[in-house]
């Protein structure tokens, strides 16, 4: 009876497949359990944070979102914590959280809208108008998230070079032409990754106190240079004990207590 | 309890709401003074004040038979306020008229009327008292330095008053363009001692816009020649006049009255009253040339520069941004009209507020006129106000010039809310803006911005590189196989010889020694031929030996090879002559091939 599968063989095949899937699931369960437990705990804090936010208890909401984020990173939790900070008058912390959420979910319009909205509320307004071409290119490069561009860059690199290898082996020029597509996409993902890396800069910080004076040196005995306010985004140029040297847009800068600024993307 | 009647309710409602309705537009008139000397100037200001009164027409003045209308101007200011997110515009438009009374007495300025949105508004009549004498403060008396009061010089005081006291008006130019400055100076000349000098008649400047440069509060006498004689002269008034129309215009005469002190002896003196008047001055005013007049010309005559600025680089929630256009320079600054700032997409431009800062020096009138346009963004984004152009006529060169400002820009955020409130009083009303609400779902992108790239992601790069290198090597090998026959034979030689040896073993196992030796000989000669890229099959032993030695083969190996080939041939054709067993031959062949 060649070419025909008996019922026994068929049943055996199904059992084998079922057994394989069960076996694979049981093998992977130890890997997924911590993730599921974390996700559950993080979601629980997230939901409780939302309840506190809805009731107007923004400080409690911030604490609960903190707990949620300590368990697992989430753009939604960062965004909601940014909202709670904004509602409680902490514009600088809100801007920091919106920036973080934007990196994880760049396509989310709520995040970009609230980031722009919060920036309008800070007392120190920047007069520099962004070059529209730079803005356009940045928007094009930031369509996908940082992690997605990194993953795609690896996949496209492999695809482009494997296709080129086929060209060398077979001599068929169509493989060469076919390699252009993954090659160009790889270069885009590489540029996007570099763009994100420039954004996710540990030197980026935001002022989180209502008002602070920048001085010419790391201490209160130094000359006062400029007064900045909550929400101003700065770049940390140098660090000393308990003090940081920050530079504001436009070139102004000075030393300030480290506690008066919050690093947006702390190095991990 | 008795219910209130409908009439009663209407009365109460009208009492409650009528003031509110009336408060939407205030229409009033006022004068800068109610007592004025004949020939002097009085300023009548008619004010329209209210909310949303854009497009209000110019009020109609009543009949003014007792006054001469010298000219008019207007100014406007807008006060924008936000109360509970709702924008309110309070506008004030002032129409200023300059009147000169024609006769002495109690005169009435008739009410002005205004028709607006179907309603007619009227001001109250204003009473003005006109006296013969000037109401301007008289210049303080100061004794002339020459002739000085000297009781021992009776010859001076014995002069007749007539002919020794004069007032003269002098214009620095008499042929000008419309809008070009003419400076007129009134000077008092005397050879007498003067007391109680006062202005009997103020000069009238009909057809001119006048700016006082100097008005004597104290007479400052200096020695000057006038009509060939020596006089003590004092400047009474200096005025800059800007013709508002072309043609032959007349600058009015000035009349002074006073008393000349005359000596009556050693200790006595008497005073003789006198009245002197200057001659009117005729000015020829040329019209501005039509040729070359730019479209942006708004009446400026002189030499000007322009500057534009915005009050803020950003507008939040539709808050207005003031665009300030400033015209500075020398000339008829007050007569410069507003520039056109219209047709801007996404912006609502309100009527400008005008502010003048005039400097009147000794000779020329200069200053700055600022037009402040409240601009309300109706769309978000970056708004660019293009360069503003200002055309003016320079009488020195007799040509028109255009000055241009730099473009301005600002950013608007949340512009829709206030614009909607401003545009429509009914329908949808946007009352404010806020951040967007929190996320209900936790499922939005999870992860961390700082996480290192997972190890398996690096695997793609490693695999990609490895596959590429392999493909490169394989491709190169394939091409060489196609192009280099020696390389191809050498590459295949190992595989071919292995197959032949396997075949030889099969023959041996089958007991077929003849074919075994034949396959063995083929394996040896075929391998040598492939390895060294020669045709070994057709060569004699000596030729093969010479060729192999030439290609660098070891002499011992060559000798062994020839011996094996001979042994195989001998075993094939003379089976009894075999010097070695087949297995031994096979082993010797394997060693030889390894050696080669």
Residue of A nearest to B441 (CA): A76
Structure tokens at B97: 């008229």
Q: CB contact, 8 Å: A117 with chain B?
A: yes
Q: What pLDDT, on the 0 to 100 scale, is given for residue B142?
A: 43
Contact B461 A154 (CB under 8 A): yes
Q: CB contact, 8 Å: A265 with chain B?
A: yes
Given the structure tokens 């091939």, which residue do they identify?
A: B593
Model confidence, pTM: 0.43
Please state at what angle helix B555-573 crosses helix B582-595, rounded to 10 degrees: 150
Q: Which residues of B touch A200 (CB under 8 A)?
A: 449-450
Q: What pLDDT, on the 0 to 100 scale, is given for residue B471?
A: 93
Alpha helices, DSSP H only, in chain A? 7-54, 58-71, 75-87, 91-104, 109-120, 132-141, 146-170, 173-199
Structure tokens at A4: 């025909």
Mutating which of B377, B438, B451, B478 best tests the A interface, going by the most A Cβ atoms within 10 A? Answer: B438
3-state helix, strand, coil in chain B (%, to 5): 25, 40, 35
- 3-class state of residue B580 by DSSP: coil
Q: Which residues of A touch B461 (CB under 8 A)?
A: 154, 157-158
Q: Which residues of B touch A162 (CB under 8 A)?
A: 464, 467-468, 471
Given the structure tokens 């070891």, which residue do they identify?
A: B554
Please state at what angle helix A146-170 crosses helix A173-199, rounded to 10 degrees: 160
Q: What backbone torsions phi and psi does residue B194 show, to the nearest 5 degrees? A: -115, 140
Q: What is the 3-state secondary structure (H, E, C) of B106-169?
A: EEEECCCEEEECCEEEECCCEEEEEECCCCCCCCECCCCCCCCCCCCCHHHHCCCCCCCEEEEE
Given pLDDT bands bounded at 50, 70 and 90, which one contains residue A245?
A: very high
Q: What is the DSSP letter of B205?
A: -
Nearest-neighbour CA in chain B from A192: distance (Å): 14
Nearest-neighbour CA in chain A from B319: distance (Å): 13
Q: CB contact, 8 Å: A149 with chain B?
A: no
Helix (H) or strand (E) holding B176: strand B175-177
Contact B467 A161 (CB under 8 A): yes
Contact B471 A267 (CB under 8 A): no
CA B552 to chain centre: 88
Q: CB contact, 8 Å: A168 with chain B?
A: yes
Q: What pLDDT, on the 0 to 100 scale, is given for residue B212?
A: 84
Nearest-neighbour CA in chain A from B215: distance (Å): 49
Which residues 430-469 in chain B show a CB within 8 A of chain A? 433-451, 453, 457-461, 463-465, 467-468
Structure tokens at A46: 């997230």
Contact B316 A42 (CB under 8 A): no
Contact B442 A46 (CB under 8 A): yes
Nearest-neighbour CA in chain B from A121: distance (Å): 9
Nearest to B464 among A73, A100, A161 (CB): A161
What is the rounded (10 degree) CA torsion for B286, B290, B295, B297? -10
Pairing of strands B86-101, B42-51: antiparallel
Nearest to A168 among B409, B413, B471 (CB): B471
Q: What is the 3-state secondary structure (H, E, C) of B305-373?
A: EEEEEECCCEEECCCCEEEEEEEEEEECHHHCCCCCCCCCCCEEECCCEEEEEEEECCCCEEEEEEEEE
Which residues 83-112 in chain A show a CB within 8 A of chain B? 83-84, 86-87, 100, 103-105, 108, 110
Q: What pLDDT, on the 0 to 100 scale, is given for residue B424?
A: 44
Contact between B318 and B87 (Cβ < 8 Å): yes
Q: Is the pLDDT of residue A30 over 60?
A: no
pLDDT by residue, tens only, chain B of 596 residues: 344 444 444 444 443 344 334 446 788 888 888 888 776 778 888 888 887 676 778 888 888 888 877 667 677 766 655 555 455 667 778 888 878 888 888 888 888 888 887 888 888 888 888 887 666 554 444 444 333 333 333 333 345 566 788 999 999 989 999 999 999 999 999 988 888 888 888 888 888 888 888 888 888 888 888 888 888 899 988 889 998 888 898 898 888 888 887 765 545 567 788 888 999 999 999 999 988 888 888 889 999 999 999 888 888 777 888 899 999 999 988 888 888 876 677 787 877 888 888 888 777 888 999 998 888 887 777 777 888 889 999 998 999 999 988 888 888 877 765 444 444 445 565 556 788 899 888 876 666 666 667 788 889 999 999 999 999 999 999 888 888 888 888 888 888 888 988 888 888 888 887 888 888 888 888 888 888 888 777 777 778 888 888 887 888 888 888 888 888 877 777 666 556 677 788 888 888 888 77
Q: What pLDDT, on the 0 to 100 scale, is given for residue B579?
A: 61
Q: What pLDDT, on the 0 to 100 scale, is given for residue B544?
A: 80
Given the structure tokens 């009349």, which residue do they identify?
A: B255
Q: Which residues of B touch A44 (CB under 8 A)?
A: none
Q: CB contact, 8 Å: A16 with chain B?
A: no
**CA distances from residue A13 to A2, A4, A21, A23 in whole angstroms, order as listed:** 17, 14, 12, 15
Mutating which of A129, A167, A168 best tests the B interface, going by the most B Cβ atoms within 10 A? Answer: A168
Nearest one of A195, A191, A205, A219 to A264, comparing CA atoms: A205
Q: What pLDDT, on the 0 to 100 scale, is given for residue A52?
A: 95
A11: region left, alpha or beta (phi > 0 left; psi from -120 to 50 alpha)? alpha
Calculate mean pLDDT across residues A121-142: 79
Q: Which residues of A touch B447 (CB under 8 A)?
A: 73-74, 104, 145, 147
Contact B435 A117 (CB under 8 A): yes
Nearest to A168 among B448, B457, B474 (CB): B474
Contact B439 A76 (CB under 8 A): yes
Contact B471 A169 (CB under 8 A): yes
Calculate mean pLDDT across residues A3-29: 49
Calculate mean pLDDT across residues A163-178: 91
Q: Which residues of B touch A79 (CB under 8 A)?
A: 438-439, 444
Torsion sign across C-alpha atoms B410, B411, B413, B417: positive
Nearest-neighbour CA in chain B from A187: distance (Å): 14
Q: What pLDDT, on the 0 to 100 scale, is given for residue A57?
A: 93
Helix (H) or strand (E) holding B8: helix B6-22
Contact A75 B433 (CB under 8 A): no
Contact A168 B476 (CB under 8 A): yes
Nearest to B457 among A127, A150, A267 (CB): A150
Contact B445 A113 (CB under 8 A): no
- C-alpha triplet B221, B223, B229: angle, nearest 5°: 125
């Amino acid at each position: 009876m060649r070419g025909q599968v008996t019922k026994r063989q068929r049943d055996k095949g199904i059992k084998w497949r079922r057994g394989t899937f069960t076996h694979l699931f049981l093998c992977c369960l130890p890997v997924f359990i911590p993730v599921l437990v974390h996700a559950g705990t993080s979601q629980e804090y997230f939901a409780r944070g939302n309840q506190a936010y809805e009731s107007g208890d923004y400080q409690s909401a911030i604490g609960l979102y903190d707990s949620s984020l300590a368990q697992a990173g989430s753009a939604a939790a960062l965004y909601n914590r940014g909202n709670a900070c904004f509602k409680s008058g902490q514009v600088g912390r809100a801007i920091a959280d919106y920036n973080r959420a934007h990196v994880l979910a760049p396509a989310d319009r709520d995040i970009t809208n609230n980031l722009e909205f919060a920036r309008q509320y800070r007392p120190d307004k920047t007069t520099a108008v962004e070059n529209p071409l730079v803005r356009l290119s940045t928007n094009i490069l930031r369509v996908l998230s940082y992690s997605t561009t990194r993953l795609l860059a690896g996949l496209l690199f492999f695809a482009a070079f494997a296709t080129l290898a086929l060209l060398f082996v077979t001599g068929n020029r169509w493989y060469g032409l076919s390699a252009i597509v993954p090659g160009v996409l790889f270069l885009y993902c590489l540029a996007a990754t570099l763009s994100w890396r420039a954004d996710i800069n540990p030197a980026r910080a935001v002022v989180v106190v209502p008002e602070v004076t920048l001085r010419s040196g790391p201490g209160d005995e130094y000359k006062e240079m400029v007064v900045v306010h909550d929400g101003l985004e700065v770049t940390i140029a140098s660090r000393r004990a308990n003090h940081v040297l920050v530079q504001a847009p436009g070139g102004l800068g000075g030393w300030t207590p480290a506690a008066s600024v919050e690093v947006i993307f702390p190095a991990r | 309890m008795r219910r209130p009647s409908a009439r009663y309710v209407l009365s109460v409602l009208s009492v409650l709401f009528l003031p509110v309705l009336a408060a939407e537009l205030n229409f009033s008139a006022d004068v800068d003074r109610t007592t004025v000397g004949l020939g002097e100037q009085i300023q009548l200001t008619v004010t329209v004040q209210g909310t949303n009164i854009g497009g209000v027409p110019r009020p109609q003045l009543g009949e003014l038979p007792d006054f001469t209308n010298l000219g008019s101007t207007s100014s406007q200011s807008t006060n924008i306020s936000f109360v509970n997110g709702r924008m309110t515009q309070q506008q004030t438009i002032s129409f200023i008229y300059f009147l000169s009374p024609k006769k002495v007495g109690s005169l009435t300025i008739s009410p002005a009327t205004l028709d607006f949105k179907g309603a007619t508004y009227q001001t109250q009549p204003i009473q003005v008292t006109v006296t013969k004498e000037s109401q301007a403060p008289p210049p303080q008396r100061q004794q002339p330095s020459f002739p000085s009061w000297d009781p021992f010089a009776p010859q001076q005081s014995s002069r007749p008053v007539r002919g020794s006291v004069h007032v003269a008006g002098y214009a620095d130019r008499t042929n000008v363009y419309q809008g070009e400055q003419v400076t007129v100076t009134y000077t008092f000349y005397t050879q007498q001692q003067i007391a109680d000098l006062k202005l009997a008649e103020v000069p009238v400047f009909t057809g001119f816009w006048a700016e006082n440069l100097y008005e004597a509060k104290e007479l400052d006498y200096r020695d000057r020649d006038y009509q060939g004689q020596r006089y003590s002269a004092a400047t009474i008034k200096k005025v800059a006049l800007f013709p508002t129309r072309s043609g032959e215009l007349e600058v009015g005469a000035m009349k002074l009255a006073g008393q000349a002190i005359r000596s009556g002896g050693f200790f006595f003196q008497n005073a003789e009253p006198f009245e002197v008047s200057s001659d009117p001055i005729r000015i020829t005013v040329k019209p501005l040339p039509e040729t070359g007049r730019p479209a942006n010309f708004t009446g400026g005559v002189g030499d000007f520069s322009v500057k534009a600025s915005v009050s803020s680089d950003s507008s939040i929630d539709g808050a207005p941004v003031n665009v300030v256009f400033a015209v500075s320079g020398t000339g008829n600054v007050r007569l410069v009209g507003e520039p056109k700032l219209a047709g801007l997409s996404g912006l609502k431009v309100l009527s400008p507020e005008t502010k003048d800062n005039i400097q009147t020096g000794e000779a020329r009138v200069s200053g700055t006129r600022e037009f402040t346009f409240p601009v309300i963004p109706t769309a978000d984004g970056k708004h660019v106000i293009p360069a503003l152009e200002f055309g003016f006529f320079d009488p020195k060169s007799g040509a028109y010039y255009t000055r241009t400002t730099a473009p301005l820009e600002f950013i608007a955020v949340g512009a829709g809310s206030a614009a909607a409130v401003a545009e429509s009083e009914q329908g949808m009303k946007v009352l404010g803006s806020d951040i967007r609400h929190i996320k209900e779902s936790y499922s939005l992108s999870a992860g961390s911005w700082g996480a290192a790239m997972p190890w398996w992601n690096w695997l793609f790069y490693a695999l990609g590189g490895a596959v590429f290198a392999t493909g490169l090597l394989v491709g190169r090998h394939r091409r060489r196989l196609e192009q280099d026959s020696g390389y191809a034979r050498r590459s295949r030689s190992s595989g071919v010889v292995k197959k032949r040896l396997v075949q030889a073993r099969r023959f041996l196992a089958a007991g077929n020694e003849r074919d075994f030796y034949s396959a063995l000989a083929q394996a040896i000669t075929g391998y040598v031929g492939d390895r060294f890229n020669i045709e070994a099959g057709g060569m004699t032993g000596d030729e093969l030996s010479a060729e192999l030695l030439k290609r660098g083969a070891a002499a011992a190996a060559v000798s062994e090879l020839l011996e094996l080939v001979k042994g195989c041939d001998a075993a094939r054709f003379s089976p009894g002559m075999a010097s070695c067993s087949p297995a031994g031959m096979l082993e010797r062949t394997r060693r030889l091939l390894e050696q080669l």
